[in-house]
Amino acid sequence: MEIITVANNKGGVGKTMQAYQLACHLANKGSRVLVIDLDSQANMSSTLGVQIQRTLIPEWLIGDVALEDVVVPAEGVHECIKNISLIPASRQLANLAKLFILSEGEIRKEAGRKERLLRKRLEEAKDMFDYVVMDTPPMLGDELIMALVASDRVLIPTQAQDYSIDGLEELMDTFEIIKETENPGLEFTIIPSMVNNRRKIERQRLEELKMSFNCAPPIGNRVQMQESISLSKPMFKMPLKSKGRQEYDALWEFLNI
């Protein structure tokens, strides 16, 4: 089972988009995919056709609720969806911090540190899925740190138009600390996202990005992509000649998945 997290503490950079396309791509190839929505905005859950009143993610993490009780099938018209299971989010994810404080003693006994809880829960599920894809919120909180501790790779969508290499370097420093202390196998890839190639400044920044980081082929800013999310129609369902589909095919090839 390979665990992949999509993360960036900056909002609106295309995290949910990449996580959705990745999950659908893997499911379309026949893999059993578990998607975990760790963002209380629950955008990934609604794109996968699921809206719930109250998420049980906090209770699952501390071991009060079993995996079967938090996982639901994804909903949608496309064939690939049947291979996707989802742990949906809701606003109650905000209770996570509170529950962690209340359960501090048990967490210490079970996992040593709260950051390791998700890794522990996923170890228990390792024979049930081929891939886990996690969407994370736009902040460096418990959800994101737990996801990074549990993951094999992290994909970092980054906008070329207004990213600052300084900001990204700061984020990468945090990721490096996690790699050094908790998860030596963690691999990072930057995915330039919503790139407008007609703008010179964006092309220049892309080049700078490529020089500083392990950088995947870019995903352009395309109306078609917005429609993909709003209509829950994965990019591989778009015509072969469509630019967006070609960009995603190039991305999967680069990532070797």
Residue 41 C-beta: closest distance to ligand ATP, Å: 6
Kindly indicate which of the ranges 12-20, 78-86, 125-133, 174-182 contains the residues binding ligand ATP, using the contact rule CB under 6 A: 12-20
Q: Tell me the residue ranges of DSSP E strands in the chain.
A: 2-6, 33-37, 72-73, 84-87, 131-135, 153-159, 187-193
The DSSP call for residue 220 is B
Closer of 164 and 181 to ligand ATP (Cβ): 164
Among 35, 38, 39, 150, indicate the residue that binds ligand ATP (CB under 6 A): 39
Residue 20 C-beta: closest distance to ligand ATP, Å: 8
Strands 72-73, 84-87: pairing kind = antiparallel
245 binds Mg ion (CB under 5 A): no
Is the Cβ–Cβ distance between 239 and 233 less than 8 Å? Answer: no
Neighbours of 180 (CB within 10 A): 10
Strands 153-159, 2-6: pairing kind = parallel
Closer of 40 and 246 to Mg ion (Cβ): 40
194 binds ligand ATP (CB under 6 A): yes
Residue 184 C-beta: closest distance to Mg ion, Å: 28
Q: At what angle do helices 243-255 and 223-230 cross, to 10 degrees?
A: 80
Closer of 43 and 183 to Mg ion (Cβ): 43
From the list Mg ion, ligand ATP, none, pick the one residue 164 interacts with, judged by a Cβ distance below 5 to 8 Å according to partner type: none
The DSSP call for residue 40 is T
Distance between terminal CA atoms of the chain? 13
117 binds ligand ATP (CB under 6 A): no
Query: Which residues pair with residue 188 across a beta bridge?
Result: 154
62 binds ligand ATP (CB under 6 A): no
Q: Classify the C-alpha dihedral 101-87-67-236 as positive or negative.
A: negative
Residue 1 C-beta: closest distance to ligand ATP, Å: 24
10 binds Mg ion (CB under 5 A): no
Among 15, 25, 114, 222, indicate the residue that binds Mg ion (CB under 5 A): 15
245 binds ligand ATP (CB under 6 A): no
Strand order in the sheet with 72-73: 72-73, 84-87, 33-37, 131-135, 2-6, 153-159, 187-193
Which DSSP helix (H) or strand (E) runs through 205?
helix 200-212
Contacts of ligand ATP in 198-237 (CB under 6 A): 219, 221-222, 225-226, 229
Residue 161 C-beta: closest distance to ligand ATP, Å: 12
Among 7, 17, 61, 206, indicate the residue that binds ligand ATP (CB under 6 A): 17
103 binds Mg ion (CB under 5 A): no
List contacts with ligand ATP (CB under 6 A): 11-17, 39, 41, 43, 138, 193-194, 219, 221-222, 225-226, 229
Contact residues for Mg ion (CB under 5 A)?
15-16, 43
